[in-house]
Homo-oligomer: A and B are copies of this chain.
Amino acid sequence: MQRKPAKEYTTEQQLPRLGTAPYLKLMERTAASETNQYAAHLGLIMLWLGDNVLDLVDHDLSSFDITESKLDLLLLLSLHDGQELVTPSSIADRLGIRRSSVTSLLIWLEKRNWIIREPYAKDGRMTHVRISPEGSMLLQQVLPTFWSTCASLVEELNKEEQEVFRNVLVKLNKNIENRLGAGR
């Protein structure tokens, strides 16, 4: 997940950056006739940007030895703490992954004492999962950096651009959450 690692040695000949032009040319030749190519271009940049955003956030979090996806889970636990019964199943449902994948995440987090798993008395099949005091402390340490990274992603936009951008983002994200059937 680490972009731009230190060079193994010094550098070599590079490939020139192509930019978007050749992608668009290829699109003209290979897109179905009913595809809106202007929209596809936009979607392509969005895909690239999303990729870069994840890389940057994980890079900024790496000094805390946590990834964006694990931070996401800790946040989930923190925000539901004392509200609802959180179980591996409900986590899996929310994150759109398998229960067994959640088990792996929980084992990892529990090893670091950031969460607590305890049997749920009212139904012996279930496990109650919650964030631990140590986990909450970790959040206190990580979140200032996390929010600052989030802000840095869009800080070069002016107030007006941010306003328009926000409306578009919210709209797109709602739509895609519906398509995927999972969301926050």
Contacts and interface: CB of A to CB of B under 8 A. Distances in A.
Interface of A: 3-5, 8, 11-20, 22-23, 26-27, 30-32, 34-57, 59, 68, 75-76, 78-80, 84-86, 89-91, 93-94, 96-99, 139-140, 143-144, 147-157, 161-162, 164-173, 175-177, 179-184
Contacts of A80: 15, 18
A17 B184 contact: yes
B49 A153 contact: no
A39 B154 contact: yes
B162 A22 contact: no
A116 to B, nearest CB: 18
Given A39-B154, A42-B165, A144 B184 contact: no
A23 B143 CA distance: 11
Q: Which 3 A-B pairs have the closest CB atoms?
A: A50-B50, A43-B150, A43-B153
A9 to B, nearest CB: 10
Contacts of A167: 161
A31 B180 contact: no
16 contacts: A3-B96, A3-B181, A4-B96, A4-B181, A14-B94, A23-B79, A30-B147, A31-B143, A43-B154, A47-B68, A48-B173, A56-B176, A59-B180, A157-B168, A161-B167, A161-B168
Contacts of A177: 52
A139 B29 CA distance: 11
B84 A147 contact: no
